[in-house]
Amino acid sequence: MATTKTVTKSWLEKYPKSFYDEPEPEDRVLQFPPLYRVIGILFEMYKDSPDVFATGGGFILYDETNGNRRVAPDFLIAFGVDAVYIRDSEMPNYLVWEIGKVPDFVMEVASESTAANDLGHKRELYERLGVQEYWRFDHKGGEYYGQPLAGERLVDGVYQPYEILADEDGSLRGYSELLNLVFHWDGQEFDALDPETGMTLHRITVAEARAQAAEVRIAEEEARAQIAEARAQAAAARADESEARERELLEEIARLRQQQS
């Protein structure tokens, strides 16, 4: 796991969180639905992993001497880091020198105002920094990026494209070696599939929830059966006790009659 330091007070004083406040582009609202879809799926995978930091929004800062040298990915994942420390510290954004490494994975979601930067400067910067995988998703079917789905992996310091396959129904899919996931676009919505089962992560979650609910129902039924059995045993015990008491009374009455005769 990468080591971490303590965020220096001088850095926070020089570059407070307000330093990074920037106005949102006007078309950001159109980007929100697909962006939140991506963030929701990928963040859910790693939210409970203590050594994986995943987040949407914020900046990657890569020069300790200059807070202006930064880039804002739509979503990033870093493996082998102290995720608990990062979340709990006062660290503004993702400080590479503080965390000890650059993120391993970045995904950008297209918008008209950011597409050129995603394809040009950001791509070159991620490649230079050493981000292992860079993915792009264009919910407009390629209107902004030229293709709906694209992924690249770093090979000898240079990005090489992943193969994007087209299914018979026109949907696209590309395999992320780093995440061991198949990214999928059906022409309407982004998703991530389990490479072995082909199930979406959402459906896997639902299936697991249903299985857990079934286990709970079985446990409840077993508990009710045990309670009913205990009640039946108690009732039988009371009946036996009552019958024994009745025999004792009858025997006592018979004994008294014999004494009177």
Q: Note the pLDDT of residue 243.
A: 74
User: Per residue in 80-104, pLDDT tens?
Assistant: 999 988 888 767 689 998 899 999 9
What strand order describes the sheet that includes 60-61?
A: 70-71, 60-61, 94-95
Q: Which of the residues in the chain have pLDDT under 50? A: 204-206, 209-210, 212-213, 216
Nearest alpha-carbon partner for 132 in 213, 206, 77, 52? 77
CA distance 93 to 97: 12
Could you give the count of Cα atoms lying within 13 Å of 63 in the half-sphere of its Cβ?
A: 8
Between the alpha carbon of residue 172 and those of residues 118, 182, 187, 221, 224, the distances in Å are: 20, 10, 8, 45, 50
Residue 185 token pair: 């676009």
CB-based contacts of 110-113 (< 8 A; 24+ apart in sequence): 110/31, 110/136, 110/137, 110/138, 110/139, 110/140, 110/143, 110/144, 110/145, 111/25, 111/27, 111/28, 111/30, 111/31, 111/144, 112/27, 112/144, 113/25, 113/26, 113/27, 113/28
CA separation for the pair 191, 182 (Å, rounded): 8
d(CA 182, CA 193): 5
Query: For position 206, what pLDDT does the model report?
Result: 44
User: What was the pLDDT predicted at 84?
Assistant: 87
pLDDT score recorded for residue 174: 95
- Where is 55: in which H helix or E strand? strand 52-56
- Strands, sheet with 181-185, edge to edge from the N-terminal-most edge strand: 164-166, 172-176, 181-185, 190-193
In the chain, DSSP finds a helix count (H) and a strand count (E) of: 7, 13
Q: What is the pLDDT of residue 238?
A: 75
